[in-house]
Amino acid sequence: MTEAEHRSLERLEVRQRQLRRGAVLVRENEGAGELYVLKRGMLMSYVLLDDGSRQILRFHFPGDMLAVSGLVYRRSPETVVALTDTVVCPFDRAEMTGIVTEHPRLAAIIMAVNQMERVALTDRLAALGRTSAKGRVAALLLEIRNRMRVLDKGIDGTFTLGLTQEEIGDATGLTAVHVNRMLRQLEDDGLLSREAGRVTFLNEGALARMANYTDRFSGIDLSWLPAAR
Amino acid sequence: MTEAEHRSLERLEVRQRQLRRGAVLVRENEGAGELYVLKRGMLMSYVLLDDGSRQILRFHFPGDMLAVSGLVYRRSPETVVALTDTVVCPFDRAEMTGIVTEHPRLAAIIMAVNQMERVALTDRLAALGRTSAKGRVAALLLEIRNRMRVLDKGIDGTFTLGLTQEEIGDATGLTAVHVNRMLRQLEDDGLLSREAGRVTFLNEGALARMANYTDRFSGIDLSWLPAAR
DNA sequence: CGCAGCTTTGAGATCGTTCAATCGTCGTGG
DNA sequence: CCACGACGATTGAACGATCTCAAAGCTGCG
């Protein structure tokens, strides 16, 4: 990126807000208006259904933009909550106007990132619609580990999940009880081991196969991006 | 939109291609490169899993852009197939470069549409993860009817679905057999009636409630869009 | 020490699938 | 005009995956 592009993005990060684990950043159905860049920590967004059940839609990692639906909807379609202590940088959606106008290439990059997020969502949709409980849990573990590894190259087969089994269930469309059983099965099958919240992959290939997991990080091609202004 | 913006968009539609029902526009894992604007007809996109099962990800209606993942991925992550006879307008992704550079407001509008699509996907995710089979079928019917109504104001409680029960199943994560039973139940419950492929909603409120359906068409706010250049 | 929240395990109930058979419709070829 | 075949819709019966309910066990924290 050019100097000017960097300066423009940094303008989104002048303010900072700290959140404790469990703090709500945006609440479903409440007025949106502000967007955020995630600086440090991990969050999730979810919706609540009429019967009180919860579907976790996405996990957020540093570098992600949060509450982007505020660009379109007057009220947020989803709740965003901190899973760890986090630092976010709020900015007004009017800032977006400036970026798009002055830096077409940044606009294009944002569109590209949107597509990647969309594909990640469709992968999860296929998992919920067409794979077994065991496969879904495996897919979630792989996805989160891979997501963490993008930012921390040191992570390999062992990592700290940082989710309760109830949260895993709400992300995969399962019950906490059944998540527990699936984790035990994966362990009994010799595919992973667990201790004190840390997960170790023992047979990543087999996990990926049973999860129908597709790596989307390779195969990216951004050659169409416009030149920097 | 301004004159110039219209001209720019029309440049995407200079070429036209006709497709028969069943024709494949883009095949999963094959080289992408071209994007499309859907002019007439209806398509779907789906992925195939290792065990041969299929998850339908989305239905496409006139005005939609198709195969947009070609902006990012060298190989298409999904297959796109015509559900009716259709007309699409192929354009090169390099055209996108021009639009983003010359018309920031169009870039912003495209970003807004992306968000709306993303929210539609998360609604389906919540449906697959956390609602009953009957609710999912009802949600699909409502979604498609509402989508059709955007383009054809004449449509009310009665419409032609144009999907087989197997397709409904692949979209909702169910078996064709079970879709059949759920449709029968919805009928027996007095919520809808069917004949010759046409569906009539008899109690739309109850359908929406059982489907946990949220109307996203209202509540849209695009006031942040930059001025036209 | 004692509570609160998370994990673990068992037993039985439910929902959705699988397998198999029948029926209807429509287009094709004779 | 009719027979045939393909495909989709429909229905029944049995099976199996996942849920629900209930009871412990574990861990960290005030």
Pair B183, B194: CB distance under 8 Å: yes
Read off the pLDDT of residues A155-210 as tens digits, 9 standing for 90 and up: 999 999 999 999 999 999 999 999 999 999 999 999 999 988 899 999 999 999 99
Surface-to-core class of residue B57, CB atoms within 10 Å of its CB (0-12 exposed, 13-18 middle, 19+ buried):
buried
User: Which residues lie below 8 Å from residue B202, measured CB to CB, with a gap of 6+?
Assistant: B157, B190, B191, B192, B193
- B24 φ/ψ angles, rounded to the nearest 5 degrees: -90, 125
Q: What does the pLDDT read at residue B218?
A: 85
Closest residue of chain B to A108, computed from CA coordinates: B100
| Partner residue opposite B130 with nearest CB, options A55, A97, A111 | A55
Mean pLDDT of B43-52: 96
Tens-digit pLDDT profile for residues A115-166: 999 999 999 999 999 999 999 999 999 999 999 999 999 999 999 999 999 9
Cα–Cα distance measured from residue A59 to residue A56, given in angstroms and rounded to the nearest whole number: 8
pLDDT value, residue B227: 84
Rounded CA-CA distance A62/A51 in Å is 32
DSSP string, B113-165: HHHHHHHHHHHHHHHHHHS-HHHHHHHHHHHHHHHHHHH-TT--SEEE----H
What's the gap in Å between the CA of A155 and the closest CA on chain B?
Answer: 25
Question: What is the secondary structure of B170-194 as a DSSP string?
Answer: HHHT--HHHHHHHHHHHHHTTSEEE
The residue with tokens 């054809």 is: B152
Provide the CA A85 to C1' D22 distance, Å, integer: 35
Interface size between A and B, measured as CB pairs under 8 A: 177
Q: Which two tokens stand for residue B85?
A: 């006879």
Mean pLDDT of B54-60: 97
Nearest-neighbour CA in chain A from B92: distance (Å) = 10
Chain C bases closer than 7 angstroms to a protein Cβ: 5-11, 15-20
Q: What is the CATH number of domain B131-211?
A: 1.10.10.10
User: Distance (Å, rounded) from C-alpha A28 to C-alpha A174?
Assistant: 22
Pair of tokens at residue B117: 């699509």
CATH 2.60.40.1120 fits A3-120, yes or no: no
Residue A140, phi then psi, degrees to nearest 5? -65, -45
CA A72, A74, A80, A86 torsion-angle sign = positive
CB-count exposure of residue B144 (10 Å: 0-12, 13-18, 19+): buried
Q: Which of A19, A62, A48 is nearest to A170 (CA)?
A: A48
Please, are residues A19 and A25 in contact by the beta-carbon 8 Å criterion?
Answer: yes
Domain locations in chain B as residue ranges = 3-103, 131-211
* Closest chain A C-alpha to B20 CA, distance in angstroms: 26
In angstroms, the separation between the Cα of residue B42 and the nearest Cα of chain A is: 19
**pLDDT value of position B9:** 87
Question: CA B200 → C1' C29, Å?
Answer: 38
Smallest CA–C1' distance to C24, residue: B196
CA dist B207 → A47, B131, B141, B194, B213 (Å): 20, 13, 9, 15, 8
- Asked whether B66 and B34 are in contact (CB, 8 A), the reply is no
B181-192 per-position pLDDT tens digit: 999 999 999 999
With an 8 Å Cβ cutoff, are A121 and B121 in contact?
yes
D27 C1': nearest CA residue: A196
Radius of gyration of chain B (CA): 19
For A107, which of B77, B107, B121 is closest by C-beta distance? B107
Half-sphere exposure of A148 (CA within 13 A, CB side): 18
| Chain B neighbors of A125, CB-CB under 8 A | 55, 57, 121, 124-125, 128
Maximum Cα–Cα distance for chain A, whole Å?
A: 56
CATH code assigned to A132-211: 1.10.10.10
Name which of B47, B100, B126 is nearest A108 (Cβ-Cβ): B100
Question: In the predicted model, is pLDDT for residue B226 greater than 90?
Answer: no
> What's the distance, CA B106 to chain centroid?
21
Q: Domain B3-103 is in which class? A: mainly beta
Q: Which residues touch strand D (CB under 7 A)?
A: A 132-134, 173-175, 177-178, 196; B 164-166, 176-177, 180-181, 183-184, 194
The confidence band for B6, taking pLDDT boundaries of 50, 70 and 90, is: confident
Cβ atoms of A1 and A228 within 8 Å: the answer is yes
Block residue for tokens 């759920």: B182
pLDDT of residue B88: 96
- Annotate A13-80 with three-state secondary structure: HCCCEEECCCCEEECCCCECCEEEEEEECCEEEEEECCCCCEEEEEEECCCCEECHHHHCECECCCEE
Distance, angstroms, CA A14 to C1' D11? 65
Least confident of B126-140, B178-192, B210-224: B210-224
Residue whose C-alpha is closest to residue B131's, from B212, B215, B214: B212
Looking at B104-108, B146-150, B152-156, B221-225, which range is the least confident one? B221-225
CA–C1' A158–C13 (A): 38
Secondary structure of residue A10 in the 3-state scheme? helix
State the pLDDT at residue B223.
Answer: 86
